[in-house]
């Protein structure tokens, strides 16, 4: 099975690539739309600022890829910033339009809860996932549920139906896994999340292979 | 619930792990990738590689160590030591490091923090602060070069400045406690924790299991880092985490 990692010049592609290879996938890291669309599924990674990432997607023309991904029901997994880009808008350093596949916008952690108690930003480290429901690509929830988060912004005002799992931080419900049709997002880094990360990636890949990664 | 992190630190020189008491006498404690695998198995939450190579070749070897670690393991890790430019950061992050830690280079040119943070996001930029109490100044001062050079900077003020410039995390090492095994520097960690709102890694002085409880529970540091007590198997990451869990501290 061949997985395409979208290379638009943002982020830690090497770790994602290695995690997929450890799970037995052929991996293509590329910015070429035709080659990417020939893969069985795509991964949108990303580390950095939202507006830089969107700008890179526009500059490279890769922005056009996502309509095709949705139209052809190609499984797509966005990781960390890659997940945030799938939403409508972000308030990171201004207001920036995202890909709009998911309803909702990306907001910064305030660092203070509703009682005025401060909490640390970024949200950094291992937090446990609470599952609102099971994604279509997972028939059994993982036993080990700690995953590695490192981010200062989170998705909010999203469609409840798209929320699969979340983590609690400060007084924020942090969407951890979202899914809408063929498109899945993970706010944490599954490629860095030990046992649970491996489990989630493995099941997503398995569903891709069986052609059941979409609703 | 977000858990407290236990972070073994691997001092790497020319591709091999070493650790010196008070940064002076060095003993060889093994291969970095093998040690990384060992700590991953024990439940380490992250790793820090501190490159203490002096040569250009040594730094190239470090990129290789990073690549091999990221190839073998699904564990987050930070690399520090000898990072002076945005290019240095890029090389390490592209090789699979999750965060880079900068120390002297940030003091020499604080703008490096901002450049890194703007480019990669604050979450990738750790500022390491080596602090030592100064009777003369009545506060903790920042030191560089493994504690040999005293700077003009006060540790608490520098912590605030680093965060304002975009540091996403601070690695606070007590030069008074480092290598002494008398426990973490609680007043220093507390002072810095209260001064800023980013996660704090306490470092220097871990000598026994209880030391971790004090700094993570009493002082509420977000993470604790240690080297020798793990490398020389005086305790283990698993033992520390089991003890913390038993005492009600959230660990993975």
Is residue B252 domain-resident?
no
Question: Residue B36 belongs to a domain with what CATH number?
Answer: 3.20.20.70
Q: What pLDDT does B148 receive?
A: 84
Contact by Cβ (8 Å): A133, A161 = no
Residue with tokens 């907001």: A107
Integer-rounded Cα Rg, in Å, for chain A is 16
Q: Is residue B99 part of a domain?
A: yes
User: How many other CB atoms are there within 10 angstroms of residue B242's CB atom?
Assistant: 14
CA B167, CA A17: separation in Å to the nearest integer?
Answer: 27
Question: B6: nearest CA in chain A?
Answer: A125
Nearest-by-CA chain A residue for B41 = A194
Determine the pLDDT at residue A155. 98
Q: List the one residue out of A165, A204, A157 whose CA is nearest residue A188.
A: A165
pLDDT digits (tens, 9 = 90+) for B177-230: 998 999 999 999 999 999 999 999 999 999 999 999 999 999 999 999 998 888
Reported ipTM exceeds the 0.90 cut: yes
In chain A, the residue whose alpha carbon lies closest to the alpha carbon of B70 is A15
Q: Flag whether B36 is in a domain.
A: yes
pLDDT of A33: 97
pLDDT score recorded for residue B225? 98
Average pLDDT over every residue of A95-110: 97
Considering B45, B130, B185, B211, which one is annotated as catalytic? B130
Is B135 contained in some domain? yes
Q: Of A80, A151, A196, A203, which one is the catalytic site residue? A: A80
CB-closest option in B2, B121, B169 to A169: B2
Q: Is B95 part of a structural domain of the chain?
A: yes
For residue A14, give the nearest of B70, B99, B118 by CB distance.
B70
User: What is the distance between the alpha carbons of residues A81 and A97, in angstroms, rounded to a whole number?
Assistant: 14
> Would you say residue B17 lies in a domain?
yes
Interface test with chain A among B4, B40, B71, B74, by most A beta carbons within 10 Å = B74
The pLDDT assigned to B30 comes to: 72
Known catalytic membership, residue B11? yes
pLDDT tops 70 at residue B99 = yes
Rounded to 10 deg, the angle between the B155-165 and B111-120 helix axes is 40
Give, in degrees to the nearest 5, the angle at Cα B248 between B247 and B251. 105
Position B70 in a domain:
yes
Q: Is the confidence at residue A213, as pLDDT, over 80?
A: no
Chain A partners within 8 Å of B93 (Cβ): 12, 47
Query: For A120-162, what is each residue's pLDDT tens digit?
Result: 999 999 999 999 998 889 989 999 999 999 999 999 999 999 9
**Neighboring chain A residues of B252 at a CB cutoff of 8 Å:** 126, 146
Domains of chain A plus CATH, in order, are: 2-210 (3.40.50.880)
- Indicate which of B44, B66, B76 best probes the interface with A, i.e. most A CBs within 10 Å of its own CB: B76
Interacting residues of A154 by C-beta distance below 8 A, sequence separation 6+? A106, A107, A109, A123, A172, A174, A175, A187
Domain residues for B51?
5-246
Mean pLDDT (chain B) is: 91
Tell whether A90 lies on the interface with B, counting CB pairs under 8 A: no
- Residue A49 C-alpha from the chain's centroid: 15
Instruction: Categorize the per-residue pLDDT at B232 as very low, low, confident or very high, splitting at 50, 70 and 90.
Output: confident
Q: Quote the percentage of chain B above a pLDDT of 90.
A: 75
CB contact under 8 A, A125 and B119: no
State yes or no: pLDDT of B23 exceeds 60.
no
Write down the pLDDT at residue B20: 41
Establish if A84 touches chain B: CB-CB under 8 angstroms: no
Calculate mean pLDDT across residues B59-78.
93
A29 touching chain B per CB within 8 A: no
Distance from CA of B8 to the nearest CA of A (A): 15
In A41-80, the residues whose Cβ lies within 8 Å of chain B are 47-49
């Amino acid at each position: 099975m061949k997985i395409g990692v979208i290379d638009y010049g943002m982020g830690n592609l090497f770790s994602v690539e290695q995690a997929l290879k450890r799970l037995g996938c052929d991996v293509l890291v590329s910015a070429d739309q035709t080659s990417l669309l020939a893969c069985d599924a795509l991964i949108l990674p990303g580390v950095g600022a939202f507006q830089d990432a969107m700008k890179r997607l526009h500059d490279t023309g890769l922005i056009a890829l996502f309509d095709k991904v949705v139209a052809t029901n190609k499984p797509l997994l966005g990781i960390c910033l890659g997940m945030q880009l799938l939403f409508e808008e972000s308030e990171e350093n201004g207001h920036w339009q995202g890909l709009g596949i998911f309803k909702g916008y990306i907001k910064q952690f305030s660092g203070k809860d509703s009682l005025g108690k401060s909490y640390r930003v970024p949200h950094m480290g291992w937090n446990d996932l609470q599952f609102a429901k099971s994604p279509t690509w997972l028939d059994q929830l993982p036993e080990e549920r700690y995953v590695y988060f490192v981010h200062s912004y989170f998705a909010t005002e999203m469609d409840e139906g798209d929320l699969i799992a979340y983590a609690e931080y400060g007084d924020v419900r942090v969407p951890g896994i979202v899914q809408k049709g063929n498109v899945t997002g993970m706010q944490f880094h599954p490629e860095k999340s030990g046992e649970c990360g491996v489990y989630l990636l493995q099941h997503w890949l398995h569903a891709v292979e069986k052609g059941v990664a979409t609703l | 619930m977000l858990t407290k992190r236990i972070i073994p630190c691997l001092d790497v020189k020319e591709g091999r792990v070493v650790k010196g008491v008070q940064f002076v006498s060095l003993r060889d404690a093994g291969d970095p990738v093998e040690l990384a695998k060992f700590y991953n198995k024990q439940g380490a939450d992250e790793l820090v590689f501190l490159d203490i190579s002096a040569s250009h070749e040594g730094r190239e070897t470090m990129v290789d160590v990073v690549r091999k670690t990221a190839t073998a393991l699904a564990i987050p890790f930070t690399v520090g030591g000898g990072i002076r430019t945005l290019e240095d950061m890029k090389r390490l992050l592209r090789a699979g490091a999750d965060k880079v830690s900068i120390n002297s280079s940030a003091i020499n040119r604080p703008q490096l923090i901002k450049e890194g943070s703007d480019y990669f996001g604050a979450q990738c930029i750790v500022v390491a602060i080596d602090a030592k109490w100064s009777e003369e100044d009545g506060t903790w001062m920042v030191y560089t070069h493994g504690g040999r050079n005293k700077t003009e900077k006060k540790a608490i003020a520098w912590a605030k400045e680093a965060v304002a410039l975009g540091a996403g995390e601070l690695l606070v090492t007590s030069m008074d406690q480092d290598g002494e095994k008398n426990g973490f520097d609680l007043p220093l960690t507390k002072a810095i924790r209260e001064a800023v709102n980013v996660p704090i890694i306490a470092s220097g002085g871990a000598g026994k299991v209880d030391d971790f409880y004090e700094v993570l529970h009493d002082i509420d540091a977000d993470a604790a880092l240690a080297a020798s007590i793990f490398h020389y198997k005086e305790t283990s990451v698993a033992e520390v985490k089991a003890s913390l869990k038993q005492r009600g501290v959230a660990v993975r």
